[in-house]
Amino acid sequence: MADTAASLKLTTDGAMKLLNAAMAKARDMKVPQCIAVVDNGGHLLAFARMDGAYALSVDTALMKAMTAASYGVPTGEIAAGVDIKLAIATQGKRINLPGGLPVIVDGHVIGGIGVGSGTGEQDRQVANAALGQLAGAKTF
């Protein structure tokens, strides 16, 4: 077994590409959103609160992105019961609201995108549209 492994990294340019694509989709849908993009460690790389987006969605968008990056799965799909335990154990930093998607390229989780201020389905559509604009990224 190897002591090291090659990995991919989400760059600031990649994060901005995701952010801009998400904002374009939100504008097309006429649903202003808060959008957060994080690296695989959950550290914020890019963020926007579009005009008209709910102020409290700033926090949920970031937590959705962090959760998706941390677990490598879309938010809203974590098993019931486990989601509450994760929220308690992480003092609310992990949430299971729909709208967070991991950024996965070539099988590597390189980050997460979290969207909040619409319905869960609208948030997920915006996040997924952004992933569709990043070369090689898995969509959901």
Are 116 and 11 in contact, with CB atoms under 8 Å apart?
no
Domain spanning 12-131 has what CATH number? 3.30.450.150
pLDDT in tens, 9-23: 999 999 999 999 999
Structure tokens at 95: 């949430």
pLDDT in tens, 42-92: 999 999 999 999 999 999 999 999 999 999 999 998 888 888 898 899 888
Nearest to 10 by CA among 126, 107, 103, 129: 103
pLDDT in tens, 83-125: 889 889 988 889 999 999 999 999 999 999 999 999 999 999 9
pLDDT tier at 137 (50, 70, 90 boundaries)? very high
pTM of the full structure: 0.95
Sorted by where each begins, the domain ranges of the chain are: 12-131
Separation of alpha carbons 74 and 81, rounded Å: 16
The pLDDT score that the predictor gives to residue 15 is 98
Separation of alpha carbons 23 and 130, rounded Å: 8
